[in-house]
């Protein structure tokens, strides 16, 4: 059980003006920000990040959406971070997310669902290193 996870505030939440509220909530829930940047994924980079979903029917839509606007990428720290963060964001489909979760509050649809959260310690490390060099991880 690692104490770090990786997140992105997705283009829908950025465009809808929710980035500040989402970061505020994450910090209030006790996550320490290890690394943070605003950036934009090219189609190629988004495809690489989501390569595990290449065979899924929503892959093309996902890559188009994730490269459609600015995102905020961050590494976060808290005990049992991966699981704690996935509880905080709620189910992939906001219609099924628990009341009070970030996706319930800020997501638009199952595809445009406001935030990403790593699904394992191994992927948290891979995804964090995709965006941040060792010198940028505090
Ligand atoms: P994430 O990776 O973004 O934290 O989300 P997740 O684990 O809850 O969901 P995952 O199955 O990993 O799917 C990755 C992202 O693909 C989009 N998606 N669209 N149209 C659809 O049926 C569909 N299903 C998934 C969502 O943006 C989801 O977060
Ligand atoms: Mg996932």
Known catalytic residue: 18?
A: no
User: What is the per-residue pLDDT for 35?
Assistant: 98
In short, whether 91's Cβ falls inside 6 Å of ligand 1 is no
Report domain extents, the chain: 4-136
ipTM: 0.95
In short, whether 123's Cβ falls inside 6 Å of ligand 1 is no
Edge to edge, the sheet with strand 4-9 lists: 32-40, 70-77, 4-9, 115-117
Residues of the chain where predicted confidence (pLDDT) is lower than 70 = none
User: What is the per-residue pLDDT for 6?
Assistant: 98
Question: Does the annotation place 129 within a ligand binding site?
Answer: no
In short, whether 77's Cβ falls inside 6 Å of ligand 1 is no
User: What is the per-residue pLDDT for 70?
Assistant: 98
d(CA 117, CA 50): 13
Question: What architecture does CATH give domain 4-136?
Answer: 2-Layer Sandwich (3.30)
Question: Does the annotation place 101 within a ligand binding site?
Answer: no
């Amino acid at each position: 059980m690692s104490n770090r996870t990786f997140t992105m505030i997705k283009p829908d939440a950025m465009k809808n003006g929710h980035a500040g509220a989402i970061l505020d909530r994450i910090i209030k829930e006790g996550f320490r920000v290890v690394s943070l940047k605003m950036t934009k994924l090219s189609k190629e980079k988004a495809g690489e990040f989501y390569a595990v979903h290449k065979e899924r029917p929503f892959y093309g839509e996902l890559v188009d959406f994730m490269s459609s606007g600015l995102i905020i990428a961050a590494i976060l720290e808290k005990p049992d971070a991966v699981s704690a963060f996935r509880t905080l964001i709620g189910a992939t489909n906001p219609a099924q997310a628990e009341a009070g979760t970030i996706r319930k509050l800020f997501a638009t649809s199952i595809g445009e669902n406001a935030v990403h959260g790593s699904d394992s310690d191994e992927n948290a490390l891979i995804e964090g290193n995709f965006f941040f060099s060792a010198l940028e991880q505090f």
